[in-house]
Amino acid sequence: MTKHFGPLVALDNVSIRFEPGSLHAILGENGAGKSTLVKCMMGYYRPDAGDIFVSGEKHAINNPRHAHQLGLGMVYQHFTLVPSMTVAENLILGEAQLPPIIPWEAERERIEEFQRTMPFKLDLDRPVASLAAGEKQKLEILKQLFLGRRVLILDEPTTVLTPAEADQILGLMRGMAGNQQLTVILITHKLREVLDFAGDVTVLRAGRRVGGGAAKDLASEELVRMMIGAGKIARAATRVETPTNAAYLDLRDLTVENDNGLMAVRGVSLQVRAGEIVGVAGVSGNGQRELVEALAGQRQPASGEMFVRGAVYSPRRGEMRQRKVFLLPEEPLRNACVGVMSVAENLAFRNFDEPRNTRYRWLISRRAIRGQALDLIDRYGIKAQGAEARLETLSGGNVQRTVLARELCEEVSVLVAQNPCSGLDFAAVAEIRSQLMDARNRGAAVLLISEDLDELLELADRIVVMFEGKFVYETPRDQADVQTIGRYMASPT
Amino acid sequence: MVGSRAKSGVEAVAISAAALLATLVLFGAFVALRGINPFDVYRVLYLGAFGSWFAIQHTLTQAAPLMLTALCTAVPARAGLLVIGGEGALVVGGVATVLVGVTLMGVPAPVAIALMCMTGTLAGGLWIGAAGALRHYRGVHETISTLLLNYIAIAVMNHLVTGPIRDFSQVLKPASWSVGERFMIGDLPGTSIHWGLAFGVVTCLLVYVLMRRTTFGFAVDILGGNVRAAQMVGLPIGPLVLSTCVIGGAAAGLAGTIEVIAVHGFASASLAVGYGYAGILVAFLARHNPMAIILIATLLGGISASGGLLQRRFDLPDAATLVLRGILFLAVLASSTLYGRLKIFQSRAV
């Protein structure tokens, strides 16, 4: 199969055979062509060349509905459930032909009948909003099976799950595939999932199939080499011993409400010392976003105080500059940049009003801003069509590099980073992690909020677990244990 | 790389031209339905707007207030607000000018004129600034509030000119006291275009420099581009929102002053003849760029200026030019969805 987007070859002559009753992993970095491949299968895109055979018959899949009729179903990374409706209602919702008046009793019987054949059960009357992430994922899978799909595509299913939930779901899927109940295609960039659960694996890189086979025959080093090719990986970040310093960032009893006026952060207190990375672990949606927004000045805390270098801090421009507080929020295009402004302008957000970038105090010096941009583009390896290119034309990794360059190019006292590596490829991830470590080694207090436990275990000096708006567990780096942390992420009691 | 900026400039021009063409086709169909040759209409439209020195003077006179009221929408738009209160700000500016003007009997004319300009500017600025404050501190949507403020402004003016400040020597229609012949600013030398044109052009140029060259303009661009990014780098959101509203309102208020001291000499219902609403159209057509506003206001001024001629020549109803404006506005709004979608203007992702 081949698919071009303009001059970009997203898929280049990729052929894959999915055996019935197998759990087949498609492994690759972001941008390797995994999503393009499955979107072609589901009928969202049309391949420029190549054919799809389902059970030996050739089909041109024109739209998702057509794919559904052929028994192909997809579970998306982000849930497509209606939170205010019950489990049963959500199951019925997806049916192609629903009568105007729903015969609830008959449908319920049908669902219960169906659930008996399944290896796991959910309470049909619970509203989806009250389900944990793992249960929602199960419901998504149930829904696909209930609708009679025989081939299930799971797109990065474990990003929103705790390690235990992830193991459970993948174990179930492997079991069901083993019983010949269905064929599972697992899209992932996590090696561990492939090695532990997949029967077969196909590795994609830059749109090409670069290798694959039975998972048990492949070693992890081999898979990594296939995924990243000859590309160079930045040196691993080295942790330098730092003395026990004073707390640079000090949160005292901070409470923050979410958009609905509910308490998202419930009276948390935390100190981050200079030269220390404190990692905040937790399943997404437990108040991390609101916490970062409060630190970033995007949300007013309901109560509590923030101290930076010993004095009360309110996130305003003058104080940010004076106390040297910087941020790397998640989704940089949404939180930290303006897509329609140029790379040079985005790089100047922190200092466009400082004397070196102005003339006569009030006039912007375009030349100074351009000079600063060219320097940063060079130093941080930002790939852009020049300093004047609109930021939204850059790839995700380069947008993140742009923000990183802006936030780390000056002396940093406090750095707040949230999921700084999500959606980036190996090389970018390694580079950004080593930049964070460097900032720490230079004496910054780093608060790292991440959904990626491996990232926290690699970088953090201390890990706290956030659950339902509170810090429920804390462990120093040398005593950190994945199982224990995972247990607190799921439920602290 | 060279040309990324130039390319988006070409894109803006091409899309605006397409919208204009679509408008001409649709309005042509409209007049053709009445059995009139559209090409004749467009020829007369051109002659009425730019065909003679007389027509050009008329056009520029019409364009002057549009430049100022367009800024009332364009400046807040750069901060991401949609303000449509130019009409109200103009009326408030005009009424305030009269109220202050009539008290300045013994004052030398240049001083009085300066004071009246400041009054109109201040009144308009506070008027739209209030909408900005409601938006920032109370979450009231600025489009709704400025629309309602238009009605309030017109109602207040009608109340004043039919009662408290009515000049009973004006018998044809209710009007306020006059500011007096001594305070009228008159025409540009050697023309019949009043000084308002100079005010309009100079204000647009000043606002252009403010929005494109200063740190203030840069901060407003960040805010308009992404409020969350603006918060993250600690920009003062409230003051920025308020300033853009005050600047926009001030421009429209100045238009009101000029209507009084260059055209009417008093406040009356003829202040609220739609310059404020036409200004919204100008701002959108100009994509909120103050330099482009000068050009677009002139074009739109031409359409209004030739309205009378169209009416007489083809027996078209008075509202025909309004139909033309309405079609133009819809075409421009519809075309704005094309930005970033046309392949030839896309620079490739790296």
Closest chain B residue by Cα to residue A342 = B5
Q: Which residues of B touch A298 (CB under 8 A)?
A: 228, 231-232
Nearest to B226 among A338, A342, A364 (CB): A338
- Residue B247: the pLDDT is 97
Tokens 């008027």, residue located:
B127
Cα gap B140→B150, rounded to integer Å: 16
Interchain proximity B229–A358, CB inside 8 Å: no
Give every CB contact of residue A195 below 8 A, 6+ residues apart in sequence: A215, A220, A223
Query: How near does any CA of chain B get to the CA of A458, in Å?
Result: 27
Closest residue to A317, CB basis, from B1, B5, B234: B234
Q: With an 8 Å Cβ cutoff, are B225 and A341 in contact?
A: yes
Interface check for A340 against chain B (CB to CB < 8 A): the answer is: yes
Pick B233's closest partner by Cβ from A317, A342, A393.
A317
pTM (2 decimals)? 0.79
Chain B within 8 Å of A222 (Cβ-Cβ)?
Answer: no
Q: What is the dihedral of CA A121, A124, A128, A130, to 10 degrees?
A: -80
B233 touches chain A (CB under 8 A): yes
The tens digit of pLDDT for each residue in A433-477 reads 888 998 999 889 999 998 888 888 888 999 999 988 999 999 998
How many angstroms separate the CA of residue B235 from the nearest CA in chain A?
6
Contacts of A390 in chain B (CB under 8 A): 4, 8, 347
Distance (Å, whole) CA A484 – CA A482? 6
pLDDT at B9 > cutoff 60: yes
Q: What is the pLDDT of residues B320-350, one digit of tens each?
A: 888 888 898 888 888 878 776 666 655 443 3
Q: Is A4 helix (H, G, I), strand (E, B) or coil?
A: strand
Average pLDDT over residues A174-188: 82
Average pLDDT over residues A202-207: 82
Tens digits of per-residue pLDDT, B27-56?
Answer: 999 888 888 888 988 898 898 888 889 889
- Taking an 8 Å cut-off on Cβ atoms, the answer to whether A386 and B213 are in contact is no
Q: Which residue has the higher pLDDT, A327 or A220?
A: A327
**Is B138 touching A (CB cutoff 8 A)?**
no
> Which of A173-182, B3-12, B27-36, B73-82 has maximum average pLDDT?
B73-82
Average pLDDT of span A52-80? 80
A216: left (phi over 0), alpha (psi -120 to 50) or beta: alpha
Q: Mean pLDDT of all residues in chain A? A: 83
pLDDT higher than threshold 70 for residue B82: yes
**Inter-chain CB proximity B229 and A383 less than 8 Å:** no
Give the H/E segment covering residue A205.
Answer: strand A200-205
> Among A57-61, A156-160, A403-407, which stretch is predicted with the lowest mean pLDDT?
A156-160
Closest CA–CA distance from residue A260 to any residue of chain B (Å): 15
**Residue in B82, B193, B201, B59 with CA at minimum distance from that of residue B147:** B82
Taking the C-alpha atoms of residue A298 and residue B125, their distance in angstroms, rounded to an integer, is 28
Domains in chain A, ordered, with CATH? 3-228 (3.40.50.300), 247-324+411-490 (3.40.50.300)
Closest alpha carbon to A78 in A284, A259, A289:
A284
Per the model's pLDDT, the better-predicted residue between B155 and A61 turns out to be B155
Q: Name which of A362, A367, A391 to mutate to probe chain B: the one with the most chain B Cβ atoms within 10 A of its Cβ.
A: A362
Instruction: Tell which wins on pLDDT, A277 or A483.
Output: A277
Residue A86, pLDDT > 90, answer: no
Rounded Cα gap, residues A387 and A378, in angstroms: 11
Q: What is the DSSP letter of A354?
A: S
CB proximity A329 to B under 8 Å:
yes
User: In sequence order, what E strands does A28-161 have?
Assistant: 52-54, 57-59, 72-75, 151-155
Residue in chain A closest to B228 (alpha carbons) equals A335
**Neighboring chain A residues of B222 at a CB cutoff of 8 Å:** 338, 341, 349
pLDDT top residue among B187 and B294: B294
> Which of A316, A321, A338 is facing B229, going by the closest CB pair?
A338
Q: What is the ipTM score, two decimals?
A: 0.83
Q: Nearest CA to CA, how far is A424 from chain B (Å)?
A: 15
Residue B241: count of CB within 10 angstroms of its CB: 25
Burial grade of A286 (CB within 10 A; 0-12, 13-18, 19 or more): buried
Q: Is A296 on the interface with B (CB under 8 A)?
A: yes
Domain residue limits, chain B:
72-272
SS3 A444: coil
Element at A279 (helix H, strand E)? strand A276-281
Confidence class for position B63, pLDDT limits 50, 70, 90: very high
Is B222 within 8 Å of A341 when comparing Cβ atoms? yes
pLDDT given at position B349: 39
Q: Which amino acid is at B27?
A: F
pLDDT of A416 > 80? The answer is: yes
Q: Which residue has the tokens 């309102």?
A: B249
Residue among A335, A350, A386 whose CB faces B4 most closely = A386
Mean pLDDT of B192-205: 92
| A250 phi and psi angles, rounded to 5 deg | -140, 110
Question: Among A390, A398, A410, which would you mutate to test the B interface (most chain B Cβ atoms within 10 Å of its Cβ)?
Answer: A390
What pLDDT, on a 0 to 100 scale, did the predictor assign at position A195?
82
Q: Quick one: pLDDT at residue B2?
A: 42
Task: Identify the weakest region by mean pLDDT among A3-7, A123-127, A172-176, A198-202.
Answer: A3-7
- pLDDT value, residue A483: 82
Residue B131: pLDDT band (50, 70, 90) is very high
Q: What is the pLDDT of residue A170?
A: 85
Q: Which amino acid, residue A138?
A: K
Phi, psi of A208 (to 5 degrees): -115, 150
Three-state SS at B152? helix
The pLDDT of A385-399, averaged and rounded, is 84
Specify the pLDDT at position A9.
Answer: 60
User: Residue A268 has what pLDDT?
Assistant: 92
Q: Which pLDDT score, from 0 to 100, does residue A1 have?
A: 58
Q: A with B: how many residue pairs have Cβ under 8 Å apart?
A: 106
Distance in Å, alpha carbon of A417 to nearest chain B alpha carbon: 12
* Residue B225 contacts A, CB cutoff 8 Å: yes
- Which residue of A lies nearest to B339 if distances are taken between CA atoms? A340
Highest mean pLDDT among A327-336, A443-452, B215-224, B310-319: B215-224
Of the pLDDT bands very low, low, confident and very high (cuts 50, 70, 90), residue A51 is confident
> Largest alpha-carbon pair distance within chain B?
72
User: What are the start-end ranges of the E strands in chain B?
Assistant: none
Mean of pLDDT values over A365-381: 91
Spell out which residues of chain B touch residue A317, defining contact as CB-CB under 8 Å: 233-236
Nearest to B234 among A315, A335, A389 (CB): A315
Q: Distance (Å, rounded) from C-alpha A443 to C-alpha A156?
A: 36
* Min Cα separation A393/chain B (Å): 5
Kindly state the tokens that stand for B233.
């780098």
Per-residue pLDDT band for A4 (boundaries 50, 70, 90) equals low
pLDDT at A142 over 70: yes
pLDDT band at A481 (very low <50, low <70, confident <90, very high): confident
Instruction: Determine, for residues A298 and B228 on separate chains, whether the beta-carbon distance falls below 8 Å.
Output: yes
The DSSP bridge pattern shows strands A57-59 and A3-5 to be unpaired
B336 touches chain A (CB under 8 A): no
- Is the predicted pLDDT of residue A367 greater than 60, yes or no? yes
Check whether A211 has a pLDDT greater than 50.
yes
Chain B contact for A314, CB < 8 A? no
- Asked whether residue A8 carries a pLDDT value surpassing 60, the answer given is no
pLDDT in tens, A313-326: 988 999 999 899 99
Q: Is some CB atom of chain A closer than 8 A to the CB atom of B214?
A: yes
From A332, which residue of chain B is nearest by alpha-carbon distance? B229
Q: Across the interface, do A390 and B4 touch by the CB < 8 Å criterion?
A: yes
Inter-chain CB proximity A350 and B233 less than 8 Å: yes
Query: Any CB–CB contact under 8 A between B341 and chain A?
Result: no
Which of A297, A337, A352 lies at the smallest CB-CB distance from B234?
Answer: A297
Mean pLDDT on B15-25:
88
> Chain B: residue nearest A329 by CA?
B232
Does B4 contact A388 at a Cβ distance shorter than 8 Å?
yes
Neighbours of A164 (CB within 10 A): 15
d(CA B106, CA A188): 83
Distance from the Cα of A321 to chain B's closest Cα (Å) equals 9
